[in-house]
Amino acid sequence: MVNPAPDPVARLLPGQLLARGVCRHLLGHDFVTLEEVVPAPGLRVDVMALGPKGELWVVECKSGPADYRADRKWQGYLDWCDRFFWAVDADFPTELLPGATGLILADAWDAEIVRMGPETPLAPARRKAMLHRFARHAALRLQALRDPGISPSGL
């Protein structure tokens, strides 16, 4: 008897499951995504999304109230995106989240944008730098998939 392939979703942590659903949903809005992106030293966003018009969104995935309360860096992410969102599951007490941010309800399979984050357009120089960082990060991830024996810097 042949063993079935392992379920890749079974290995993911709760925040990673939310990120998966968010990325799947945003693709339906013509946004491409990267997970665990470092926009600046000391910061790492859960999901960065690039839209069809060059817009950049950041989504922070929180698996529960304790995960949210432990996040002391999220306001630093606002300088690196046009819109900011929290992604949580349906059981999360959303009243804990700041009202002036976007809200996405998600699970491992899909998501729904419940509240659009306010638009705060990036300055042109910062946008150019972030688009460059996004492209390099995506290319490095692809290279690492093609050649798993290497460890490209920047990941």
State the average pLDDT for the chain.
91
Using the predicted structure, report yes or no on whether residue 91 has a pLDDT greater than 70.
yes
> Over the stretch 55-68, which tens digit does the pLDDT of each residue have?
999 999 999 999 99
Domain edges within the chain: 11-146
Whether residue 49 is predicted with pLDDT greater than 90 in this model: the reply is yes
Calpha distance 94→55 (Å, rounded): 26
Backbone angles phi and psi of 106, in degrees to 5: -145, 160
Q: What per-residue confidence (pLDDT) applies to 155?
A: 53
Taking residues 126-155, what's their average pLDDT? 86
Tokens of 49: 């999304």
Give the domain 11-146 fold: Trna Endonuclease; Chain: A, domain 1 (3.40.1350)
Q: Would you say residue 2 has pLDDT above 90? A: no
Note the pLDDT of residue 151: 67
- DSSP type of residue 147: -
The structure's pTM equals 0.88
* CA angle at 30 for the pair 122 and 152, rounded to the nearest 5°: 70
Average pLDDT over residues 66-71: 93
Helix (H, G, I), strand (E, B) or coil at 50: strand
